[in-house]
Amino acid sequence: MMMKHGCGAHMGGHGARHAGGHHGDGSEEPEQPDLPSRKAVDPVCGMEIDADHAHAMIRRGDQRLFFCSEKCLSKFEAAPENYPSS
């Protein structure tokens, strides 16, 4: 039976896997677990951000500081003494 809109593997939603795959090698893609995001707080504006998707990260001693934007990073770099370590 030929499907009108593709191979039919997506009929069960986007979570359905292609058995046998259409990826050239016949192998199935391994499942990737949904990992919890790492939360961080921008030291300049106080916004909670996802560390994996932060605009920038810098090291300060043994700390990692994450920034939501270029603006906050620039403010920090101009006067890091204004932002005490936690």
Q: What is the mean pLDDT of residues 4-33?
A: 52
pLDDT digits (tens, 9 = 90+) for 29-78: 666 666 667 899 999 999 999 999 999 999 999 999 999 999 999 999 99
Does residue 74 lie in a domain region? yes
pTM for the model stands at: 0.57
pLDDT tops 50 at residue 5: no
Task: Say if CB 67 and CB 44 are below 8 A apart.
Answer: yes
Q: Is 2 among the domain residues?
A: no
Is residue 45 included in any domain, yes or no? yes
Q: Is residue 17 part of a domain?
A: no
Residue the block writes with tokens 């016949």: 26
More confident residue, 75 or 23: 75
pLDDT at 8 over 70: no
User: What pLDDT sits at residue 84?
Assistant: 83
Structure token digits, residue 66: 């994450």
For residue 60, the enclosing domain spans 39-82
